[in-house]
A = this chain, B = another copy of it.
Amino acid sequence: MEVITDNSRSQMRKGVLEYCILSVLDRKESYASSLIEELKAANMIVVEGTIYPLLIRLKNQGVLSYRWEESTQGPPRKYYCITDKGRMMLLQMDKEWNEMVKTIETLRK
């Protein structure tokens, strides 16, 4: 039973991660390790092997950009911030998300 449950949980999250990451970065820029913590605080678990390739994809699509910044506590950090294109995409995702919430409500009333 746990297997099925865990699977449905992780499956449901697929494709929503992008939306979550853009949402966080829309408020303030951040770097991967910090992003992971912020998402965890909002109950959305992500791991490194997921987030690094995803950030690179989003950057290659032009919805994110980054700059290096020195840290006083370790190696330099790659701070990502959302671009104008990213903000446009986020608005589109809001629409898609709201439609999906309505769809589920329709099916599950």
Please list the residues of chain A having a beta carbon within 8 angstroms of any beta carbon in chain B: 1, 4-5, 8-16, 18-20, 23-24, 39, 42-44, 61, 63, 88-89, 92-94, 96-97, 99-104, 106-108
Contact = CB atoms under 8 A, between A and B. Distances in A.
Given A11-B18, A39-B107, 11 more contacts: A1-B88, A4-B61, A5-B89, A8-B15, A8-B96, A11-B15, A13-B100, A20-B104, A23-B104, A43-B99, A43-B102
A97 B5 CA distance: 12
A97 B104 contact: yes
A48 to B, nearest CB: 20
Contacts of A20: 103-104, 107
